[in-house]
Amino acid sequence: MVNQNQENTPIYLDPSQPLEKRVEDLISHMTLDEKISQLLNDAIAIERLNIPKYNWWNECLHGVGFAGIATVFPQAIGLAATFDLHLMEEVAKAISDEARAKHHEAIRKGERKIFQGLTYWSPNINIFRDPRWGRGQETYGEDPFLTSRMGVTFVKGLQGDDPKYLKLVATPKHYVAYSGLESERHHFDAIVSKKDLWETYLPAFKACVIEGKAEAIMGAYNRVNGEPCCGSKFLLEEILRKKWGFEGHVVSDCGAIRDIFKFHEVVETPEEAAAMAINAGCDLFCSVGIFTKKKKKIRWNWIRGAIEKGLLSEEPLTKSVKRLFRARFKLGMFEPPEMVKHAQIPPEVIDCEEHRNLALKAARNSIVLLKNENNLLPLKKDLESIAVIGPNANNLDVLLGNYAGTPSKYTTILKGIENKIGSTARIYYSQGCPLKEKSKETFKEALELAKKAEIIILVLGLSPRLEGEEGEAIESDLNGDRVDISLPEIQDELLREIHGIGKPIILVLTGGSAIAVNFAKEKIPAILFAWYPGEEGGTAVADVIFGDYNPAGRLPITFYKSVEQLPDVRNYSMEGRTYRFFHGEPLYPFGFGLSYTTFRYHDLQITPEKVKTTEAIMVSVEVENVGERDGEEVVQVYISNLSTPNAYPIKELQGFQRIFLKKGESKRVNFKLLPPQFSRVNEDGQRLVEPGKFSLTVGGGQKEYSEPGMNCLEGTFEVIGEINYLN
């Protein structure tokens, strides 16, 4: 770094100069080849300009990923199940602390490799529209409103609140309409109506850009209505930059530029693909791992060749380079470290006790109690013996999910139970069966142990070996995805045989998506869904089972009874998908979750009862804990249109708050609903607020599926005045 006191210090190295002036000055010193070299995720050093090499690729979906020891929080779908924005903010801040500390520790060692930077390709805010998609675990579920709130909170937590310097760069992905099949992602064309695009697929991205101020966006592999996402002027220029005012940079998913010519075949040559992407507004090419040892030279030649053939001018290329260096300047990469407060975060925060405790808190908050017949749970701790059985009981994979870091220590579900009561009760353990293979070799052992025990805890479900990204889930049905949504057949057989013994069973399910456990819902008295709960997942599950924590997680997705209830996975129409458009009877509905206590709702107030199309509505309700335990409740607000219901989703979540109430305590909960929250999108893609009558329900879940302890109140309001067009 040049001495800042020298009179000949260039403008770009002078922290007192305005950001845009510094960026302009730096780019003005670069040659064409130097500019091209910076459009790759593994950007080379330009020593004469004091530009160090930099690799843009980092991941932090639920903790710093692929970069050694780091705190592993619950998988993203589990974080969504908390319905807790304050917790999400805490988690994002902890992750960004560890990311900053890792980066500066690497710099001190002279290392600038992949997964050591400050630009993070998270969160995944795609809509989880079909449970067969293996990457749904990375998302915040099926609902645009929940996804938007979680996404915005995560983005802000990563990027920090410093007025001058970003803590990290957050990169919401994959823009847009990307949600399966993994085996077809490199060539699939998502045919999406204007209504579905603006009503379902775009809102979370819009929120993360406009509210969250996300500095980057990642383009998807697929096409949308014929256009490759990473080469679409409609998506990148018309919507992202012009309509939403996005000023940051766009990065391609890894290999997506190759896909434009090789698999989508919308152009014939790599030079045409490179030109299409850059001209559309894609600034950074991620291509690691898909070329030969000469990959860097090949990718340079694509861009160079595009210029030489007249397909690309230097002007849009320069714009891209400016956007990229704008991000690096905003991260403080060209400042003395003492000027950037984030650079002072010490390495001791990595995997610290505070973060491990936060991981435990998040895991507890994510667990969903699906069934508790005759109040079997919580269990008393004075049991004499317990049988813990199942392929997921003592397994690290099912704690971590995909895109995870490496925990320094972890607690499996078996270990969590042993830690809780192992000193007083006899714990019998058997794997019971493989995850998926049709082998009954250990059935006999499991049945014998189950017969000995006073109570049985079965730990079944999914694993990152069964669902995940293309090529990662090595035992999946279809290259990462599932063909069927039931329990794997061998696990279902084990469940039925152990049920036949006649002992009380608690079923703990792991996974990142819905599982059709119809037999269990009918026959098993207690069911918990634990997701992929992170490094302390076993402790959290034991805390819930034995009553040291009262569960309050809610489903961020619909649990269907079978794949017969689902449309073709290749069909991107929202008709018949998710709770917003599904007309059937779910196994468990979106927003569902039970508690060990009971809440009652009183005195719903909606003001005004008649509201203009430009005005907000205030919603207020009294919530009381009338049960015998302290506990948390997730208060949910749903809106349905009564005047023209066919033009709107069946119902939509438009507010939620997670609150804690001691037994006997009550609290008034308030919501403010803005006009976009009672708007609709027409067939032309226009969002509008129009006159009409609406139903509004407030409660612990959807009114139609209320159970004891989940009562809901319903009211109405009327929208009056002229149609208000919002976009």
pLDDT of 385 > 60? The answer is yes
Please name the amino acid found at residue 23.
V
Q: Region 574-602: what's the mean pLDDT?
A: 97
Question: What pTM was estimated for this model as a whole?
Answer: 0.97
Residues contacting 48, CB < 8 A, separation 6+: none
The answer to whether the beta carbons of residues 649 and 581 sit under 8 Å apart is yes
Instruction: Look at residue 291 in the predicted model and tell me its pLDDT.
Output: 41
Q: What is the mean pLDDT of residues 677-694?
A: 97
Query: How far apart are the C-alpha atoms of 453 and 174, rounded to whole Å?
Result: 48
Mean pLDDT of 192-208: 98
CA count, 13 A, side-chain hemisphere, 571: 8
- Give the Å distances, CA to CA, from 69 to 102, 408, 464, 481: 10, 6, 20, 29
Give helix then strand counts, H and E, for the chain.
Answer: 20, 26
pLDDT digits (tens, 9 = 90+) for 122-135: 999 999 999 999 99
Catalytic residue positions, numbered: 253, 467
Read off the pLDDT band of 292 (50, 70, 90): very low
CB neighbourhood size of 10 (10 A): 16
Mean pLDDT, rounded, for 13-20:
96
- What is the percent of the chain with per-residue pLDDT over 70, rounded to a whole number? 97
Q: What is the pLDDT of residue 497?
A: 98
Q: Where do the CATH 2.60.40.10 domains begin and end in the chain?
A: 599-725
What integer best gives the mean pLDDT of the chain? 95
DSSP state of 690: -
**pLDDT value at position 294?**
52
Say if residue 710's pLDDT is above 80.
Answer: no
Q: Measured between alpha carbons, how far is 653 from 530 in angstroms, rounded to an integer?
A: 23
Q: Is the pLDDT of residue 252 over 90?
A: yes
Q: What is the pLDDT of residue 595?
A: 97
Tens digit of pLDDT for each residue in 481-517?
A: 999 999 999 999 999 999 999 999 999 999 999 999 9
pLDDT of residue 706: 73
650-676 mean pLDDT: 98
Element at 419 (helix H, strand E): helix 413-421
The two tokens of residue 108 are: 């001190």
pLDDT 10s digits, 539-563: 999 999 999 999 999 999 999 999 9
pLDDT digits (tens, 9 = 90+) for 131-188: 999 999 999 999 999 999 999 999 999 999 999 999 999 999 999 999 989 999 999 9
**3 state SS for 324-389:** HHHHHHHCCCCCCHHHCHHHHCCHHHCCCHHHHHHHHHHHHHHCEEEEEHHHCCCCCCCCCEEEEE
On the question of pLDDT at 78 being above 70, the answer is yes
pLDDT-based confidence at 280, cuts 50/70/90?
very high
- Mutual angle of helices 489-499 and 443-452, in 10-degree steps: 30
For the domain bounded by 26-55+172-330, which CATH number is listed?
Answer: 3.20.20.300
Is a pLDDT exceeding 80 seen at residue 293? no
Cite the residue boundaries of each domain of the chain with CATH code 3.20.20.300: 26-55+172-330
Domain limits, CATH 3.40.50.1700, in the chain: 362-574
204 backbone dihedrals φ, ψ, rounded to 5°:
-70, -35
Per-residue pLDDT at 298 = 58
pLDDT at 704: 87
CA distance 244 to 226: 22
**Is 387's pLDDT higher than 90?**
yes
Q: Determine contact, residues 363/537, Cβ cutoff 8 Å.
A: yes
Q: How far is the C-alpha of 60 from the C-alpha of 119, rounded, in Å?
A: 10
- Using 50, 70 and 90 to split pLDDT, how confident is the model at 7? low
CA pair distance 602, 608, nearest whole angstrom: 18
Q: Give the model's pLDDT for residue 223.
A: 98
> Which CATH code fits 362-574?
3.40.50.1700
For 189, phi then psi, to 5°, come to: -110, 110
> What fold does the segment set 599-725 form as a domain?
Immunoglobulin-like (2.60.40)
Residue 4: the pLDDT is 45
For residues 190-210, give the mean pLDDT.
98
Q: Is 298 within 8 Å of 332 (Cβ atoms)?
A: no
The yes-or-no verdict on residue 475 having pLDDT over 90 is yes
CA 72 – CA 62 distance, rounded (Å): 6
Query: Please, what's the b/e burial string for 180-207 (b: 16 or more CB within 10 A of its CB; e: otherwise)?
Result: bbbbbbbebbbebbebbbbbbbbbbbbb
Backbone angles phi, psi at 236, to 5 degrees: -85, -35
Is the confidence at residue 705, as pLDDT, over 90? no
Name the nearest CA neighbour of 634 among 571, 701, 537.
Answer: 701
